[in-house]
Amino acid sequence: MAKSRFEYVRTYEQDAILLPNTYIVIRLDGRGFHRFSAHYNFQKPNDKRALCLMNAAAKQVMQQIPDVAGAYGQSDEFSFVLSRECKMFDRREAKLVSTFASTFTAQYLFLWPEYFPDTPLDGNMLPSFDGRAVLYPSLREVRDYFSWRQADCHINNLYNTSFWTLVLGGGLSEQDAEQALMGTNSGEKNELLFSRFGINYNNEEIMYRKGTMLIRDVGTGGSGSASASASESTESIDVREWHEKSKRQIEREKTKRRKAEIVELHVDIIGNEFWTDAGRWIS
């Protein structure tokens, strides 16, 4: 940047630096997607094209940003978890959030014709996504975060499936359908779907019920155990030497993640099974 007498204004710029050695979760949400989906006549209660487009855009983000260990998406949102060792943009919050939001939005726009070939985008109704960053100190909180988002997926999808079945299949107005579902629990919604419409909710497409988990399949025995052994030996080696080794290790892990296959899963991430081998994709 050229020097000038006006350069002092840069002193007003204040960066929010995210705490080190914590997991960064960046969640993106579609802005005004209720109007957006209505404008483009998304199928109710789920439009598979739209969900697959979200998944494809998220995969592109992961391919471009190797610091992302995994991601979970449902409806018009996607959450990306970055490794604790992430040094991207020196962990500046504004740079991270704006980069993820803009990259995801750009990929969504670019991939749109592939999933909606007969529906060109209207310049007055373009998609955009906002974002936020949240820090978690351990894998336990990361697990609970993703469990929370999947529980939200189940609650919302069961409601939307019941609501739109009453409207499209039962002939109710949207207001009457909302009134009919007011105060009902999940068991009652399941019973309504089955007794009145012969729909077994458990047979609905699993992506709608579980959302989508994206992970890098980097194999087992990765950085988790290596990181532990490094920390255990800090007392017997020079701190600067340990830091340099740690930096090299981080670069190796980043290269490994960049080359790893991105796997799309539609599974239960609340129970223990998914997390028993979590070390193969997150450290």
- What is the tens place of the pLDDT at every residue in 84-122? 989 999 999 999 999 999 999 999 999 999 999 999 999
**Among all chains, which residue has been given the structure tokens 């979200």?**
54
- Listed in sequence order, the residues at least 6 apart from 153 whose beta carbon sits closer than 8 Å to its beta carbon are 74, 75, 209, 210, 211
Token pair listed for 72: 């979970």
User: How many independent structural domains does the chain possess?
Assistant: 1
pLDDT value of position 226: 33
Q: What is the pLDDT of residue 2?
A: 67
Report pLDDT for 228.
33
Residue 87 lies in a domain: yes
Q: Let me know if residue 48 belongs to a domain.
A: yes
- Going by C-alpha positions, the residue among 145, 147, 192, 191 that lies closest to residue 172 is 192
What is the pLDDT at residue 1? 57
- Residue 108 located in a structural domain: yes
- Judge whether 166 lies within some domain: no
Whole-number pLDDT of residue 250: 73
Tens of pLDDT, residue by residue over 179-210, are 999 999 999 999 999 999 999 999 999 999 99
CATH of the domain at 88: 3.30.70.3000
| Alpha-carbon span 202 to 194, nearest angstrom | 10
The answer to whether residue 163 sits within a structural domain is no
The pLDDT value given to residue 280: 75
Range of the domain at 52: 15-152+206-280
Secondary structure letter of residue 273 according to DSSP: G
Q: Please check whether residue 176 lies inside any domain of the structure.
A: no
- On whether residue 7 sits in a domain, the answer given is no
Query: Is residue 74 included in any domain, yes or no?
Result: yes
**Residue ranges of the chain whose pLDDT lies below 70:** 1-2, 219-246
35: three-class secondary structure by DSSP? helix
- Closest by CA to 88, choosing from 71, 107, 114, 64, is 64
CA atoms within 13 A on the CB side of 130: 4
pLDDT value at residue 246: 66
Q: Residue 277 CA to chain centroid, in angstroms?
A: 20
